[in-house]
Amino acid sequence: MLRWVLIDAVQRAWRRHQVIVPLYRHLAALAPDEQREIVLLLMAEHEVRHQQQYARMLARLHAPLPASFDSFDRIWLWLLPRCSPTIALRWTAWTEQRDARAILEAMALLRI
């Protein structure tokens, strides 16, 4: 039963990265200068590696990858770039922290 708590946390993190990666790329396309564009593209690549790490964790847990996008994810991907880059970046940071905390708490419950 507790194993599913960890699987759920990792699946949620993987799905959120389905939004974060294209969001960084979209923000890079809107960047006012080349330096910011490069930084945002590097951040997108870093998040791709995070997503791959979550996929490996799910494989070790013998759990499937979740569905790529749902309508809520599409709304976030549409809405965040229309706010401001600052809000979008804060959302990604908050999401990353929340996902990491959820995974660590689930691992602590399992005593991994």
pLDDT at position 34 is 97
pLDDT at position 73 is 79
Long-range CB pairs of 88-91, under 8 A, 24+ apart, other chains included: 88/23, 88/27, 89/27
Q: What is the pLDDT along the chain (112 residues), one digit of tens a residue?
A: 788 999 999 999 999 999 999 999 999 999 999 999 999 999 999 999 999 999 999 999 999 999 877 778 788 888 988 888 999 999 999 999 999 999 999 999 988 6
Cβ 41 vs Cβ 22: under 8 Å: no
CATH number where 98 lies: 1.20.1260
What domain count does the chain have? 1
Domain limits at 54? 2-110
